[in-house]
Amino acid sequence: MSLLVVGTVAFDAIETPFGKTDKIIGGAATYASLSASYFTKNINLVGVVGDDFPQAMIKEFNNHGIKTEGLQIKQGEKSFFWSGKYHTDMNTRDTLDTQLNVLASFDPIIPDSYQDCEFLMLGNLMPKIQMQVMQRMKKRPKLIVMDTMNFWMEIAMEDLMENIKMVDVLTVNDAEARQLTNEYSLVKAAKKILSWGPKYLVIKKGEHGALLFHNNQVFFAPALPLEEVFDPTGAGDTFAGGFIGYLAHARDISFDSMKRGIIYGSAMASFCVEKFGTERIIGLTQEEVEERVQEFIDLVQFDITLV
């Protein structure tokens, strides 16, 4: 089924203990749509860039089955730019520079040809824009997954709460779940968030894996233990893209299907962090993806039969 991905398409400059990049392609919707493209070829992108954004990358999107009719190109303007530096533990980072540019006036127009999308991925963006997207869909998608971040909890909490009530799946990291609920225990935080409306909650714990909560059930997927985490930028978006991409492919939004989605998302995220930016996830083969999923199976599989 068709998938709509909304979010930033942008430039990043990244510094990690392993090196630094010049301006490279980044953005939540970039990572999410590329990641989803390994599971479904019916992806529609909504975002905004300036005329500094390379045509070659737009072609790359199209090659991955990602339609870009909804990617607005603002002539004479510049793309959103973020620059950050990671600490040794790779779990914390400092923002060095943020230039909103085209994002400051982003009006998320949904082309008519996108209106039949049944899966909606709302990448991290200003909550008001995420809301506009939901309001502009003539028919409510079958599944709405929304990602957000601590920044919006600080400056737009009321708007964010309105969104949370409307989505099916919320994805946040552990610190954000705690911030959102004032609960230290993730189990308590999850109960509180699910009571606000979402049927599913994904709590991303970086190198410590991800939890999926639904009613009183919980599922856990580890992160793959890697020799090096080279650059964590985009890992969360890549995870979300693999998750919803798998669900759109499977046409199944049951809890069991979501579990599989979490594993596919985790597998995609494990590729993402192996190189800078989108480098690793742009040219994967289906065989590589399946091999990686097999590594996740081997990582957690055990045979205890209780009577």
Closer Cβ to a second copy, 104 or 226, answer by number:
226
What is the DSSP-derived secondary structure letter of residue 227? S
Minimal distance, residue 51 CB to a second copy, in Å: 41
Residue 274 binding a second copy, by CB under 8 A = no
Q: How far apart are CA 156 and CA 126, in angstroms?
A: 8
Binding mask 229-258 for a second copy (x = CB under 8 A): x--------------------------x--
Q: What backbone torsions phi and psi does residue 5 show, to the nearest 5 degrees?
A: -115, 120
Which residue blocks in 182-275 are alpha helix, DSSP H? 186-195, 235-250, 255-272
Q: Counting every residue, how long is the chain?
A: 307
Residue 185 binding a second copy, by CB under 8 A = yes
Residue 273 binding a second copy, by CB under 8 A = no
Minimal distance, residue 219 CB to a second copy, in Å: 7
Of the residues 58, 209, 274, 282, which one makes contact with a second copy according to CB under 8 A: 209
Minimal distance, residue 207 CB to a second copy, in Å: 8
Minimal distance, residue 47 CB to a second copy, in Å: 31
Residue 175 binding a second copy, by CB under 8 A = no
Residue 187 binding a second copy, by CB under 8 A = yes
Strand order in the sheet with 3-6: 66-74, 43-50, 3-6, 119-122, 143-147, 169-173, 200-204, 210-214, 217-221
Q: Is the separation of the CB atoms in 262 and 243 below 8 Å? A: yes
Q: Is the separation of the CB atoms in 266 and 296 below 8 Å? A: yes
Minimal distance, residue 191 CB to a second copy, in Å: 8
Minimal distance, residue 192 CB to a second copy, in Å: 12
Residue 92 binding a second copy, by CB under 8 A = no
Closer Cβ to a second copy, 67 or 292, answer by number:
292
Q: How far apart are CA 205 and CA 149, in angstroms?
A: 13
Of the residues 97, 184, 216, 285, which one makes contact with a second copy according to CB under 8 A: 184
Q: Is the separation of the CB atoms in 167 and 122 below 8 Å? A: yes
Interface with a second copy (CB under 8 A), residue total 38
CB atoms within 10 A of CB 4: 29
Q: How far apart are CA 167 and CA 174, in angstroms?
A: 19
Q: Which stretch binds a second copy (CB under 8 A): 151-159, 163-171, 201-209, 272-280?
A: 201-209
Minimal distance, residue 169 CB to a second copy, in Å: 17
Binding mask 52-71 for a second copy (x = CB under 8 A): --------------------
Residue tagged 């919980």 (tokens): 218
Q: Is the separation of the CB atoms in 192 and 164 below 8 Å? A: no
Of the residues 88, 135, 182, 195, which one makes contact with a second copy according to CB under 8 A: 88
Kindly identify the residues of this chain, within the stretch 213-232, that bind a second copy according to CB under 8 A: 217-222, 225-229
- Give residues in contact with a second copy (CB under 8 A): 88-89, 184-188, 205, 208-209, 211, 217-222, 225-229, 256, 259-260, 262-263, 290, 293-294, 297-300, 302-304, 306
